[in-house]
Amino acid sequence: MTTGILFFGSPHRGSEKAAYGVILAKIASTVLNRPNSSLLSALQTNSNELMRLSSEFKFRLPQYQVVSFYELKPMAMFSTLIVEKHSSLLEVDGEDQIPVDANHSDICKFPSRNDPYYEKCYKRILRMLKSPCATELSA
């Protein structure tokens, strides 16, 4: 049974950088016949599809512990964040909001177990495992 969810720079409200991804996906699909540009289009800021999914998902969240990690550093090729703070956060009751001094690519890469963000993540997972729902499952 799922007792909690951790999000690392998830674009719940989309990203202004998704438009760049759509352009690159169209080029790549022409050359490689691969990426789905419609998926990237759905990630654009406040897209109808993304807003619908987010709304449906929030309806189911009260039963879970939610932890949202958000990036503080831009990627090298951009001067702004890939996913802005307001998009990274669900803003639901009880959400644990944690800023990470990393870019979008590195937000969930921990150099060692001594990394302070690894420790924060680890502690949140342990807390989820010790929650009443998780305890009932192991009994």
In the Cβ-directed half-sphere of 100, how many Cα atoms lie within 13 Å?
Answer: 32
pLDDT in tens, 12-50: 776 665 444 443 444 444 444 554 555 555 556 666 776
Structure tokens at 47: 């897209």
* E strand intervals along the chain: 4-8, 65-71, 96-100
Tokens representing 101 are: 């001094």
Across the strands, what pairs with 97? 68
Any idea which of 45-54, 68-77, 129-138 has the lowest mean pLDDT? 129-138
What's the pLDDT tens digit per position in 75-102?
887 787 888 898 889 888 889 999 999 9
Task: Please state the φ and ψ torsions of residue 10, each to the nearest 5 degrees.
Answer: -75, 130
